[in-house]
C-alpha cells in the first residue's frame, strides 16, 4: 500500500458570523495515499469545500478559524507552516481547481499573464520561457490553437474552455496533489464528461493524488479509489469505492445512492432523501441527519453517533451499527 500523502486528523473549522457561530467542519479525519483518488461527497453546505480550503489554508480568519485538528502534508502539519512556506506549498506541491473559473480567474489579465505569473514566481522562468510553457500547458489540456489564444481574456472562452484554463494553471508547476472542488458543476453534461476525463487522464499521466469534491456520487463512481461522505459538517461514512457502492452502511449514503438515475433500474421513479439540510446555525441535537432519517431512534435525537471502523478500511457513524 502506498504511503499517506495527506492526513487530516480531527479537523474542526468554525465561523463566527453576525447571526451566530457555526461549525462548518466537525472532527473530520481521513487520509489520501500517493497516487490515490479520493472523492469527498455531500450536499451543498456539508463542509466539503471548507475542508478543501482548510488544506490550502485559504479560510479567511476572521470570520473563520481552524479551531482543532491537524492537516499533515507529506508528514508536516500545514497549520504550523509560515506564510512563506504555505506560498511555496500552494501551486508547487498542492494545486486547486475551483468550481467557478470566472471567479477564480482574473478578467483583466490575459490567460498567458495569469498562468505565466505562477511559472515565473515559483519556477523562476523568464518571460519567454514562461510563454512557451503556457503554450505547452494549453495544448496539454486540449485548447485548440494554443499560441493564438495566449493573449485572449477569460471572457473570450466558453465555460468548458475556462475550466481547461484553470486546469492548465493548476498543473503549471507540476504539483503532486490536486484538489478539484466541483470542477464540473457549472458545465453542461457533455462538457462535464470531457473535463472529468481530462482530469483523470492528467492524474494518471503525472501520478498525482487527487481529492475530487462533488455533490454527485455518480460522478465519483468511475474516478475515485476511495470515498468520504459528508453530512452537515461531519464525515458520516468513509471507505473504498466498493464499500460505498456495494455495502453502504449509513442511511444518508444509501439515500444518495438511491437518488442516482440508473438505466437498469426497475423502478420508474427516483427515491429522494426527504427534507432538506439542517440550518447549521441551529443544528439538531444528536445525529444531524435524524430529522430526515427513516430509521431514527430515540438515541439518535440525543447522542451524536461515534465514527468507527466497521470493517477493515470502512468507517461509518450511525447508532444502527452499534445495535448490530
Interacting residues toward ligand SF4 by CB under 6 A:
250-251, 287, 289-290, 293, 295-297, 300, 305, 318-320
Q: Rounded to the nearest whole angstrom, what is the least distance from the CB of residue 219 to ligand SF4 in the complex?
A: 23
On the 0-12 / 13-18 / 19+ scale of CB atoms within 10 A, 293 is buried
Q: Rounded to the nearest whole angstrom, what is the least distance from the CB of residue 309 to ligand SF4 in the complex?
A: 16
Please identify, using beta-carbon distances, which residue of 27 and 305 lies nearer to ligand SF4.
305
Residues in the chain: 324
Please identify, using beta-carbon distances, which residue of 54 and 249 lies nearer to ligand SF4.
249
Please identify, using beta-carbon distances, which residue of 167 and 287 lies nearer to ligand SF4.
287
Please tell me whether residue 320 adopts helix, strand or coil conformation: helix
Please identify, using beta-carbon distances, which residue of 67 and 279 lies nearer to ligand SF4.
279
Please identify, using beta-carbon distances, which residue of 37 and 46 lies nearer to ligand SF4.
46
Q: Rounded to the nearest whole angstrom, what is the least distance from the CB of residue 283 to ligand SF4 in the complex?
A: 13
- 124 sits in the region (left: phi over 0; alpha: psi -120 to 50; else beta) called left
Please identify, using beta-carbon distances, which residue of 227 and 318 lies nearer to ligand SF4.
318
For residue 79, count other CB atoms closer than 10 A to its CB.
Answer: 14
Whole-angstrom CA distances from 101 to 137, 143, 305, 321 are 17, 15, 38, 41
Give dist(CA 289, CA 277) in Å, integer. 8
Q: Rounded to the nearest whole angstrom, what is the least distance from the CB of residue 273 to ligand SF4 in the complex?
A: 11
Give dist(CA 99, CA 32) in Å, integer. 21
Give dist(CA 288, CA 45) in Å, integer. 13
Q: Rounded to the nearest whole angstrom, what is the least distance from the CB of residue 318 to ligand SF4 in the complex?
A: 3
Q: Rounded to the nearest whole angstrom, what is the least distance from the CB of residue 314 to ligand SF4 in the complex?
A: 16
The DSSP bridge partners found for residue 8 are 30, 71
Q: Rounded to the nearest whole angstrom, what is the least distance from the CB of residue 165 to ligand SF4 in the complex?
A: 41
Pairing of strands 37-41, 226-231: parallel
Please identify, using beta-carbon distances, which residue of 160 and 251 lies nearer to ligand SF4.
251
Dmax (CA) for the chain in angstroms is: 67
- Residue tagged 518571460 (cell numbers): 127
Please identify, using beta-carbon distances, which residue of 48 and 319 lies nearer to ligand SF4.
319
Q: Rounded to the nearest whole angstrom, what is the least distance from the CB of residue 319 to ligand SF4 in the complex?
A: 4
On the 0-12 / 13-18 / 19+ scale of CB atoms within 10 A, 98 is buried
Is 27:11 a contact under the CB 8 Å cutoff? Answer: yes
Give dist(CA 5, CA 3) in Å, integer. 6
Amino acid at each position: 500500500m502506498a504511503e499517506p500523502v495527506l492526513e487530516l486528523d480531527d479537523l474542526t473549522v468554525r465561523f463566527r458570523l453576525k447571526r451566530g457561530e457555526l461549525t462548518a467542519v466537525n472532527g473530520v479525519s481521513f487520509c489520501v495515499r500517493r497516487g490515490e483518488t479520493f472523492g469527498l461527497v455531500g450536499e451543498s453546505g456539508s463542509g466539503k469545500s471548507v475542508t478543501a480550503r482548510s488544506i490550502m489554508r485559504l479560510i479567511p480568519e476572521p470570520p473563520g478559524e481552524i479551531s482543532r485538528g491537524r492537516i499533515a502534508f507529506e508528514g508536516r502539519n500545514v497549520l504550523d507552516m509560515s506564510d512563506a512556506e504555505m506560498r511555496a506549498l500552494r501551486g508547487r506541491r498542492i494545486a486547486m481547481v475551483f468550481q467557478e473559473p470566472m471567479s477564480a480567474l482574473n478578467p483583466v489579465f490575459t490567460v498567458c499573464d495569469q498562468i505565466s505569473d505562477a511559472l515565473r514566481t515559483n519556477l523562476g522562468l523568464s518571460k519567454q520561457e514562461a510563454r512557451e510553457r503556457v503554450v505547452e500547458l494549453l495544448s496539454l489540456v486540449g485548447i485548440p490553437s494554443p499560441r493564438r489564444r495566449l493573449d485572449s481574456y477569460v471572457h473570450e472562452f466558453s465555460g468548458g474552455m475556462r475550466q481547461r484554463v484553470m486546469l492548465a494553471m493548476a498543473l503549471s508547476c507540476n504539483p503532486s496533489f490536486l484538489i478539484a472542488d466541483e470542477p464540473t458543476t457549472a458545465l453542461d453534461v457533455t462538457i462535464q464528461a470531457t473535463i472529468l476525463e481530462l482530469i483523470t487522464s492528467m492524474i494518471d499521466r503525472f501520478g498525482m493524488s487527487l481529492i475530487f469534491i462533488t455533490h454527485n456520487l455518480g460522478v465519483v463512481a468511475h474516478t475515485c479509489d476511495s470515498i468520504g461522505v459528508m453530512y452537515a459538517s461531519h464525515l458520516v461514512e468513509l471507505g473504498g469505492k466498493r464499500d460505498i457502492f456495494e455495502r453502504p452502511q449509513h442511511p444518508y449514503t444509501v439515500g444518495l445512492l438511491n437518488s442516482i438515475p440508473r438505466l437498469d433500474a426497475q423502478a420508474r421513479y427516483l427515491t429522494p432523501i426527504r427534507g432538506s439540510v439542517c440550518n447549521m446555525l441551529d443544528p439538531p441535537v444528536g445525529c444531524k441527519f435524524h430529522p430526515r432519517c427513516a430509521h431514527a431512534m430515540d438515541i439518535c435525537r440525543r447522542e451524536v453517533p461515534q465514527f468507527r471502523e466497521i470493517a477493515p478500511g470502512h468507517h461509518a457513524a450511525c447508532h444502527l451499527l452499534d445495535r448490530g
